[in-house]
Each structure stands twice: as structure tokens, then as C-alpha cells.
Amino acid sequence: MSRERTYFGTDGIRGKVGTPPITPEFVMKLGWAAGRVLAKGGGGRILIGKDTRISGYMFESALEAGLSAAGVDIRLLGPMPTPAVAYLTRTFHARAGIVISASHNPYHDNGIKFFSSDGTKLPDEVELQIEAELERPLKTVESSRLGKAERVEDAPGRYIEFCKRTIGPGINLNGLKIVVDCAHGATYHIAPNVFDELGAHVICIGVEPNGLNINDSRGATKPEALQAKVLDTGADLGIALDGDGDRAIMVDHNGDVVDGDEIMYIIAEARCRNNSLTGAVVGTQMSNLGLEHAVRNLGLEFKRAKVGDRYIMEMLLEGGWTLGGETSGHIICLDLTTTGDGIVSALQVLAAMTCSGQPLNALKSGMSKYPQQLINVTIDKPVDIGRLASIQNAVREVETELGDDGRVLLRPSGTEPVVRIMVEGKDALQVDALANQLASLVKDALTQTEHIPTD
């Protein structure tokens, strides 16, 4: 049986700053271990990018020290979106890229995630190799072989030009008034320039990072400020990115949220129209049933992967397909880039608007969302929900009540200490009642029953 990962989760290593493993000591050794694995044989370089959290400076220095001790050269990108690091890793022909970010989490969290030389997430076996190195004593290479660090000054400009190229030379955004919310995160100096240089009238919010305000009442997980700004300014639409820029949600001119499922449908429909999409669209277990039905109405298959972009990517690569994503707005356009990219996915929607001459709310009208309720129940340790009979019996009862027109999903989060409970069906009142009923039962079961840890 394959060894379980100790530190790596579904999206790198993440946690609260100062609490193991998110400490300077660990991150320095992680840099050393990663350097030993990713740059075997010595030489080469590894890129480091970060979001705008205050702890990013500390962990950047720790990674730099560890990589140097392993004999690896470092290129420092400064604050850059996660997908920008993936792109630049490829264009610099680097051994790997490292991102210091906790994505949509608050400032007191942070994390480390890696990209391979081809700009994709590391395979499980490589993460296991890094963890194996972490168990060895740190040994610094001979002084003449220590890695050197340099700052890449033109990194933002390189990535801005890449983003603009993803919608082709014949498309511009002239005449569109767009509100862009950068969540005080890594896209604050990138996204406004992309949309402005393509001709849009750009109104910015969430572009004043101070190290502590990343994702604070802004961004893809908190669209209320964007909705208000769109309505207040009479904008055509709004775009909200998360702290590290790998996801986006949108707001139409009425102030209604357009989530990742609807964004994926809009992109799929536009590509079907110009015959550039075949095969299947990949969602997750959390994707709305309305998306599944709408995609099939386009004549395409719809496949569900486990939650997490690495599993979407695996299914896309196995099937030879190009479009997948999550309800959260994490969309992968594999024909354009190698990871989820909020700016790129928003640009595909804007291109669809421009080419069709239709507003955002009209483009999403081909998909009717089923009412869906998601409730998070906090847990204090990992638990195998499948081994708690009372919970499984309750799930079966809810599924029976919903019949063929609904779904239930319970799963522990890969990034937060919660169990996610999702109920979906045709009747909103029924869905809400059943979700709350199930959440209450799960909460009771987890407090009254001795936790059964995951294997």
C-alpha cells in the first residue's frame, strides 16, 4: 500500500502561521528538501512567488535559505498570482516553482505549494520524496556550490502579456465598464492592467494590500462589496479574484453572482459555438446538477472528479479534454494554461460577451441551477465519515426523500478543519431544511461519538 502523505494536502501544505508545520524552521527545511528532490544533480533554478500576506516575507527568506543550502539558485518573483508562477516556471525553464499562499484563507494562515517544471502540480510520488527528505538531517552543500538568489523585475509584465494573448488579437474590451476586486491579494498590480490594456474602463477595489487585509470582506469568497460597486457605478459586470488569483467569480449588471459552474457553462457554450470543444467537461462532486444538464444539452459529456484541482487535472489529462473546474470559480482551460487561473477564465467569458454581443446574464441563461445548500461543520481532528453508521443512515434517508432529482454529499475538507455537507434538489425550502437537519445530526454524532480517524 502506498505511503500516506504527512504534510501535503490537496493543495500543498497549509495552516496557521506559527503553528507547525507553518513555521520558519520547517519551511527552511522544506526548501532544502524540495531543492534536493526537484533539482537532483544540482544546477538549475527554482522560482518563488507569494501573495500579499505579511508572513510571506518571512517564509520567502526561509525558503531561499533552504534552497541555497541545497545548492539551488533562486529567482524571486515577489507578489504574483499562483497561475503566474506556474506560467513563469515554464517560460524560465525552471526546475520548479514555489508559491507562498493560503489562497482564500485569512492573513493569519499561510501555505506552500509547488509546481513542476511543466507548470503542473507535483505528483503524489514527488511529494512523498520531499517528505522523505524532510526526515533526514539538513546538510549544507560546500560553499562554492551554494545557490544564488536574484529578483525577477519584469515578472508582472510577462504575465500580463500572457493573459492578454489568451483571447486572441482580434478581441478587445472597448466599451465595457468592469469592476475588478483583487481581494487585496496577489493580483492587485496585475488584473487591473490586463483589463485596462485590453480597452475596458476598469474600476478597482481590493487593491490596497497591507499584509493583513488579504481576503478581508473582498474577493471571490465575499462578493458583497463587488455587487454593491457594480450597482453603484452602473458597470456592465464585476470580477472578483481570490487572494492568490487562481479562482474568480463574476457579477452581472443586475448585481447577481455568476459562480464557477455558470462561468464554466459560458466558456463551454462559446467553445461549442466555434467548434473548439469536444469530449467532456469535468466538474466535481460539488458541481450543480444544473451544470451537468446544461453541458449535456450542448452535446458534451459531463464528468465528476473528486473535489480539488489536482483531481480535475488528472481526469482532463486522462481523457484528453481541455475544460474543467469547480463551483468556487477555480477553472482550468487546459488549452491555454496548466492550472486554474482567475484572470484567464474571466477573460474567456468577456471574449464570449464581445463575440456574441450579449450581456453576462444572457450568456448564463442556458443553465438553470438547482437549489443547493452547503453547510460546514467544524471538526477538531480528521474523521472517516464513512465509518459512522448514524451519519450514513441519515444520508440515505435524505437521499430517499430527494429521489432522483437531488443529491447529498458529505466530505471532509482538504484545506480546512470542517466536514462539508451539501444537499441539492429542485425545491429550495426542502433543500434548506434537509441540509440543516443533516448538519445538526452530523454535529451531534461527532461530539457524542468517539472520532474514528481517517486511515
The angle formed by the CA atoms of residues 73, 79 and 80, to the nearest 5 degrees, is 85
Asked if residue 83 has a cis previous peptide bond (ω within 30° of 0), the answer is no
Name the active-site residue from 68, 103, 116, 345. 103
Strand runs (DSSP E) across 306-442, as ranges? Answer: 323-325, 331-333, 372-378, 407-412, 418-424
Number of neighbouring beta carbons within 10 Å of residue 355: 15
- Which three three-digit cell numbers place residue 312? 480535475
CA distances from 414 to 202, 307, 310, 374 (A): 35, 9, 12, 16
Q: Which residue in 52, 401, 423, 33 sits closest to 245, CA to CA?
A: 52
Report the alpha-carbon distance of residue 53 to residue 67 in Å, rounded.
21
Q: Judging by DSSP bridges, how do beta strands 237-241 and 248-252 pair with one another?
A: antiparallel
Residue-wise DSSP of 72-124: -EEEEEEE--HHHHHHHHHHTT-SEEEEE--TTS-TTEEEEEEE-TTSSBPPH
390 is catalytic: no
Half-sphere exposure (Cβ direction) of 135: Cα atoms closer than 13 Å: 7
- Which three three-digit cell numbers place residue 305? 472528479
Report the alpha-carbon distance of residue 34 to residue 136 in Å, rounded.
12
Distance of CA 360 to the CA centre of its chain: 23
Query: How many Å is the maximal CA-CA distance in the chain?
Result: 70
User: Is-contact 106 77, C-beta < 8 A?
Assistant: no
State phi, psi for 304 to the nearest 5 degrees: -115, 125
Report the alpha-carbon distance of residue 220 to residue 369 in Å, rounded.
19
Catalytically active residues, by annotation: 103
